[in-house]
Amino acid sequence: MHRTIRPLFAVAALAALALTGCAGGDGGAPAAATTPNASSSPTPATAAECRGVFVTVQYGLLGGDDVDACDPVTSTATAASVLKDLGITTAGTTKYGDQVVCRVNGRPSASTPIEVPGHAPYTEQCQSMPAAFAYWSMWVRDSAAGQWGYAQNGVAAEQLKPGQTLGLKFTTGTDTAAPQG
């Protein structure tokens, strides 16, 4: 199952709109709303519809709803800033920092073993490199119809341009396939 999320600024715009309606600027009368209604333009659900950087997060055997979202950036941005705009969190490792993605939105948990067929249960502590049979892979493609390639940098250094797609996929066993979609 996939879930599409709206960028945080859309939520902020709705909050601003709500607050604008509550703030009395004329003896208690609501002030005129100057923020456009965020729901007037649908959130792009596919990379082809996204005018900025599209992000897909695929949890695999970790379970839960995958994430597909568009950050409508208009210029080059780091993967870290795009993920932050969309409310997607990552954690690196003690040894390698954000050069290695160890957790996405808190998964895998530091206390729940990961069960990968053919391997003993494994609990990720994010100290060094994750196990070769259970790790987050980070991918980039230049266009919605383009080929996926492994990201060449960590989240803080990977530069993305509008039209590109960033994929985070929990990879297990010998599965090194690129994200779907």
Which whole number is the average pLDDT over 132-158? 96
Closest by CA position to 94, among listed 110, 105, 83, 79: 110
How many CA atoms within 13 Å lie on the side-chain side of 87?
A: 12
Which whole number is the average pLDDT over 112-116? 95
In degrees, rounded to 5, the angle at the alpha carbon of residue 73 between the alpha carbons of residues 70 and 79 is 75
Residue 34 confidence class, pLDDT cut points 50, 70, 90 = very low
112 compared with 24, residue with greater pLDDT = 112
Question: Tens of pLDDT along 52-103?
Answer: 999 999 999 999 899 999 999 999 999 999 999 999 999 999 999 999 999 9
Question: What is the average pLDDT value for the chain, to the nearest integer?
Answer: 81
Does position 19 have pLDDT exceeding 90, yes or no?
no
pTM over 0.85: no
Token pair in block for residue 89: 């969190």
Burial-class residue 127 by CB neighbours within 10 Å (0-12, 13-18, 19+): exposed
Closest by CA position to 108, among listed 168, 162, 45: 168
Question: In terms of residues, how long is the chain?
Answer: 181
Does position 151 have pLDDT exceeding 90, yes or no?
yes
